[in-house]
Structure 1
Amino acid sequence: MSGATMRITMLAGVAAMAALLFAATPSHAIEIKKMTLSNGATLLVSEQHQLPMVTMMIEFDAGTRRDPKGKEGLAELTARCLSEGTKELSATEFNQKVDFMGSSVGVSAGRDYSTAGMTSLKKYQADTLGLLAGILTEPGLRDADIARKRAEQVAEIKAAEEQPGYTADVEFIKDLFGDAPYGHPEAGSSESVGKLTNDDVRGFYHDYYKAGGAIVAVAGDVNADEVKASLEKSLASLAGTVAPQTEPAPINVAPGLHVKLIDRNVMQANIIMGSGGVERSNPDFYRLKVMNYILGGGGFSSRLVKVVRSAHGLAYSINSGFEPGKFQGAFTIGLQTKNQSSNEAIDLILQQMREIQEKPVSDAELDGAKKFLIGSFPLGIERQSAIASFMIQIEYYGLGLDYAEQYPKLIGAVTKDDVLAVAKKYLHPDSMIVVAVANQADAKIKTAQMEKAADAPSAQ
C-alpha cells in the first residue's frame, strides 16, 4: 500500500467512517450532552454504561498545518514530547503510573488538530485524568526528552524515505499544495526536524495548546455533570485561545499532466496522480463519497479495480479518494504496477475518469454504493474510542449533534445525476499532477504521450 493510498484510507475517511458507524445504529442509542467549560472549551459527553471504562479525547488547534515555514514536523515533535511526563514526574515515572493502572495516556498530532487522550477503568478515572491534565498544564519538556524524541522522529522519517510509496506521497503533496499548510508530510523531513530546537517545542506548546476553542469528548461509564466538574478543576489553568489560521488560496492545477519522475531500483512503479479536492464543509461531500466509491474507493466493486486490476492485470492494489479537511484537500489515485505497464495503467485511469464524467452510472452501481456507505460497520459500535472520535469530528467540522440521523438521509438522497454532476465538476483528467517512483529505464514513462492523452476530449 502506497503512502497516498494509506493517507486516503486513514485520513480522508476518518469522519465518514465514524459517521457510518452511527448511521447504521438507531439514533436513540447515542445521546450526546453538550456543555461549555469556563475556560472556553466545548464538552461533549456520551454516557455509555455497558462497560466500566472511560475514554476522553481533547482536540487542540495544534495540528501539523500549524507548522511554521522551515520548521515542518514541529507539531508532531511537540505532541510526542508532551507525552514524556510532567514537571514532577519523569517520563519513566509517568509511564509506570499509567501502566500500573492499565490506562493509556498520550498526545498525537494530526493534520488539522492534535489530540490528547486517555482510556482507563472507571475506578482509575480520576487518577488517569490527573496524569493527562498534568502533561497538558505542567508538561516536563526536558532537554533530554526532547533530544531523544527528535532523534526518534528523524530516524523514523529516514526509514520512511526509503519506501517508494512514501517518497511519491511526499513529492505529490509538495507539488500540489506548495507552501500552503497541507504542503508537507505531517512528521516533517529529516532535515527540518533535525534543526528543531528545544525552545521551538516549548514555544509551540505555549502558543497552541490552549483550551479556548478546544473540544473535549468523553465516552463511557460516566455522569456528564460529574465529568464537567472534574474538568473545571483539572484543566482550570489551561486558558487562552488560538487565532484562526488564514485559509490558503484555492488549488488550481494548470492544464496538462505535470509529471515528476523519480528513479529507484524497484520492481514495481509507485504512482500517485491527482488534483485539488474539497474541504469538509463542501455541500457536495456526500455526492462525492458515492461517486468516488464507484470510481475507485469501493474496493473490488470499484471501476478502477475492475478495469486496471481484474480486466488488465496491471495492478494488485489501486484506489482513489478525496481527503477533505478544514481547508481544501486533495483528490488522489494511487497504485503500484510493474514498471513496464506504467503508461498503460495511467491511460486506463484517465479513460475511467472521463467515462464517469460522460455518462450516468448504472442503477446497480449507485444502489451498491449507497447500501455500503450507509450500512458499513468499520469501527464497531461498542468501542468508546470510536464514539469519542465521532464527537470530536461532528463538533470540529460543524456537522451537528444529529449527524448520525442525517448521514444516511444525505447519502440515500444521492442520484445518478448528482454523481455525474460532481464527476464533471471535481475530476480533472486533463489537469493533474503525476508522481512516479519507478525504475525509469524499465518504465519508460512517456511524458509527451501522457500530455497528449490529457488533451483528449473530456466532459468538462
Structure 2
Amino acid sequence: MKGLSTMRFAGIALTVLLTTMTPMSGTAQTAAKPATSTRPAAQPWKQIPIPPLHAFKPKQPKRIELANGLVIFLQEDHELPFINGTILIRGGSRDEPADKIGLVSLYGQTWRTSGTTTVDGDKLDDELENKAASLETNGSTATTSVNWSSLKGDFDTVFAATMDLLQHPNFKADKLLLAKRQLETGISRRNDDASSIANREAIKQVYGPTNPYARQEEYATVEAVKLADLKAWHDKTVVPNGMIVAVSGDFDSTVMEAKLRKAFESMPRGTLISTPPIHFTDPHRAIYFAEKGDVDQSNVLIVGLGTERRNPDYYALSVMNEVFSGGFGSRVVQDVRTKLGLAYDVGGSFGASYDHPGIFYVIAGTKSTSTVAATKALLAEIEKLKTEPPTPAELNKAKDQVLNSFIFHYDSPEKTLNEQVILAFYGYPPDFLDKYKTGIEKVTSADVARVANKYVDPSKLAIVVVGNQSEISPKLDTLGNVTNLDIAIPPPPGKPTR
C-alpha cells in the first residue's frame, strides 16, 4: 500500500496597487486598464529532448554446478571490503503438515538460536558481534535459508561457523519454547490492526483458507510442533541438490570457488522434498465483512487471481497494472482519491508470482460513511479498465515508469545476483531479465485492452470489507448479500474460548 503524501500549501502574496486619481477641471478621468496578453506561458522544459534508455545489461554472476547438484553463484563487487552469502534451501511453509502450521517458522528461528554441537547459540552471538558479523537462519513460504555477512578478512572464520551450523545443528528445547511463545504472541495480536485483518482475509478468499499459500498458524498447530519435527525437517531438506549458494562482495572468484567446492563437494545427494500439487480456483463475486468495532474507517479490498511471471502476457499485464494502479498518476488514484475524494489511501496490483498465481487486488482506506461509495467507485474503475483502452499518453507514461523502476531494481551487482538466484530456484531461463525491456517496449494499447478483458473478470472478484458496521451508511447489503467473517482466534488447547 502506498502511504499518503504530505500536502504543503504555499502562501500567495497579494499586492494591491492603489491608484490615486487627481480631479481635473470640469472632467473626470478614468484609470487606464492594463493590457492583457493572450500569449501562453512559456514551457521550456517540454523542449528538453529525452533520450531512449540505454541497453540493459547488468553484470551477470558466475554460475557453477557441482557434481552433487548444488548450484553456486558468485558476484564480485569490490566497492566495499565485505562478503555476503546466502544458502537457499528448497522447502518452506507450503510444504509443512496441515496440523503443524508454523513448523518452518519455528525451525528457522530455533536453528540459529540453538547453535551447533560445538558452539552454543548465545556464545555464537558474542563471537559474531565481536567481528561485526552476522549469521541468521530463516523460514519462508517456499524455502529456508542461511545468511551470513562479514568483513573480507573474517570470511574464513564466519563461513566456517556457517558450515558448522548447516551440518551440525543442535536444536534445543528451551529455544523452541521461546520461539513458540513469540509466534503465539503474534497469534494473540493478529486482530489488532484492521488492515492486517483485511489483507489476511482477502488472501483466504482468493486462494481458499486451506490452501498452503493462505493457511495461518493457530495455537494448536504451533503447540503440535516438537523438537523431533525440527530435526526431521532439517534432515529432509538440507541436501546439496536442493540448495543454491550465492556469494557477493570483495573476493576473487577463482579463490572463492575453490573454497566453496572444498566445503560442499563431499555432501552426498539426497531426495528432494516433494511439494504436492496445489490447486487454484477463482473466487466468486461475493461480499465478505469482518467487524472491527474500535475504528471509524473501512478497509476495502477487491481481489481475484493474478498470474505467473512465465505467462507470455506478463509484459502486457505489467503495463496494464501501471495504467490502472501504478502510482499517483494511475487511473484508480486519480479518479477515486483525487477527483471523487472517496479514499485517503488507494492502490492495487495485478500480482504475478514465480510458480503460482499472484493476487489481483484493488484496495482503499475510506471513512465508514463512504464505504459503499468507495467500493462502487473501485468496481467502476475495474469495468472502465475493460472498456477504455489506455490513451497514447497513458500508454507511454506507463511503459516509461515500468522500465525505469525495473532498471533500478537491478542497479547493483548484489540485486542482480539475488534475481538470478530466484530465477534459478524457480526454473526460469537466465536471460529472463534481458527479455523484459524488449517485452515491455512492444506492448500496445490493443495488448492492454486484450489482457484486461482476458484476465479481469468482475464476476470472479471477491469484496472484503473490514470496518465498524454501526457507522457504515448506507449499509453494505446495498451492494448485495453480505457474508460475515468469523475472525475469532481459537484458544490454546485446553483453554476456554474468550
Aligning the two structures, in what range does the TM-score lie when normalised by the shorter sequence?
A: 0.7 to 0.9
Identity %: 25
Residue in 2 aligned with 1:302?
A: 330
Residue 272 to residue 200, structure 1, CA distance change in 2 (3 Å): farther
Q: How does 1:40-439 map to 2 (within 5 A)?
A: 40-84=69-113, 85-178=115-208, 179-185=210-216, 188-235=217-264, 236-237=266-267, 239-254=269-284, 256-296=285-325, 298-321=326-349, 322-376=351-405, 378-379=408-409, 381-382=411-412, 384=414, 386-439=415-468
Shift of 1:441: 1.1
Deviates more, 1:210-219 or 1:357-366: 210-219
Which residue number corresponds to residue 495 of structure 2?
none
**Contact 2:59–2:413 (8 Å) recurs in 1:** no
Q: What is the Cα deviation at residue 31 of structure 1?
A: 2.9
**Residue aligned with 1:288, SS:** helix
Does the 8 Å CA contact 1:280/1:397 hold for their aligned counterparts?
A: no
Report if the CA contact (8 A) 1:154-1:194 is conserved.
no
SS at match of 1:299: coil
Question: Residue 323 and residue 169 in structure 1: after superposition, are their counterparts in 2 closer, same or farther (change >3 A)?
Answer: farther
What displacement does 1:238 show? 7.0
* Code of the aligned partner of 1:51: L
The residue type equivalent to 1:154 in the other structure is E
The one-letter code matched in structure 1 to 2:212 is P
Q: Which amino acid aligns with 2:61?
A: I
CA separation of 1:445 and 1:116: change in aligned 2, threshold 3 A: farther
Which sits farther off after the overlay, 224-233 or 126-135? Answer: 224-233
Other structure's SS at 1:336 match: strand
Q: Is the 8 A contact 2:116 2:165 kept in 1?
A: yes
Deviates more, 1:124-133 or 1:223-232: 223-232
Structure 2 residue matching 1:70: 3-state secondary structure? helix
CA distance in 1, matches of 2:143, 2:313: 23
Give the CA deviation at 1:356. Answer: 0.9
C-alpha displacement at 1:347, in angstroms? 0.6
Aligned residues: 427
Q: CA deviation at 1:28?
A: 5.0
Distance verdict in 2 for CA 1:167–1:445, change over 3 Å:
farther
Normalised TM-score (structure 2):
0.80
| Bigger radius of gyration among the two | 2
User: Secondary structure at the residue paired with 2:423?
Assistant: helix
1:50 is paired with a residue whose SS is coil
- Amino acid of the structure 2 residue aligned with 1:337: T
Distance 1:31 1:253 in 2: 40
Residues 1:142 and 1:283: Cα distance change in structure 2 (over 3 Å): same
Letter in 1 for 2:82: M
Aligned to 1:6: none
State the alpha-carbon separation in 2 of the partners of residues 124 and 265 from structure 1: 52
Cα distance in 2 for partners of 1:202, 1:29 equals 40
1:55 aligns to what SS in structure 2? strand
Tell me: CA distance 1:432–1:446, structure 2 relative to 1, closer, same or farther (3 Å). Answer: farther
- d(CA) in 2 for partners of 1:204, 1:243: 10
Q: Distance in 1 between matches of 2:277 and 2:347?
A: 29
Query: Counting helix residues as a fraction of each chain, which structure ranks higher?
Result: 1
Structure 2 unpaired stretches of 5+:
3-52, 482-498
Report SS of the residue matched to 2:366: strand
Post-superposition shift, 1:354? 0.8
- Structure 1 unmatched runs, 5+: 3-23, 453-460
The change in CA–CA distance for 1:160 and 1:180 in structure 2 (over 3 A counts) is closer
Superimposed CA distance per residue, residues 4-48 of structure 1 (whole angstroms, 9 cap, x where no aligned partner):
xxxxxxxxxxxxxxxxxxxx7865550321111233111122222
Q: Name the amino acid aligned to 2:196.
A: Y
Kept after mapping to 1: 8 A contact 2:99/2:224: no
**Distance across 1 between alignment mates of 2:168 and 2:119:** 10
Structure 1 residues 430 and 450, CA gap change in structure 2 (3 angstroms): farther
Provide the secondary structure at the position in 2 that maps to 1:430.
Answer: helix
3-state SS of paired residue (2:328) = helix
Q: 1:240 to 1:370 in 2, by over 3 A?
A: same
Paired AA for residue 198 in structure 2: A
The alignment's TM-score, normalised by the length of structure 1, stands at 0.86
Q: Residue by residue, what CA displacement relative to the aligned partner does 1:248-267 show, whole Å, maximum 9, x if unpaired?
A: 2232223x324233343212
Contact 1:170 1:184 in 2 (8 A): no
Mean CA deviation greater in 230-239 or 354-363: 230-239
Cα distance, 1:151 vs. partner?
1.0
Q: Which runs of 4+ in 1 moved over 4 A?
A: 24-29, 377-380, 444-448
* Post-superposition offset of 1:449: 3.2
Is the aligned partner of 1:441 residue 2:458? no
Q: Report the Cα distance in structure 1 between the residues aligned to 2:61 and 2:188, rounded to whole angstroms.
A: 43
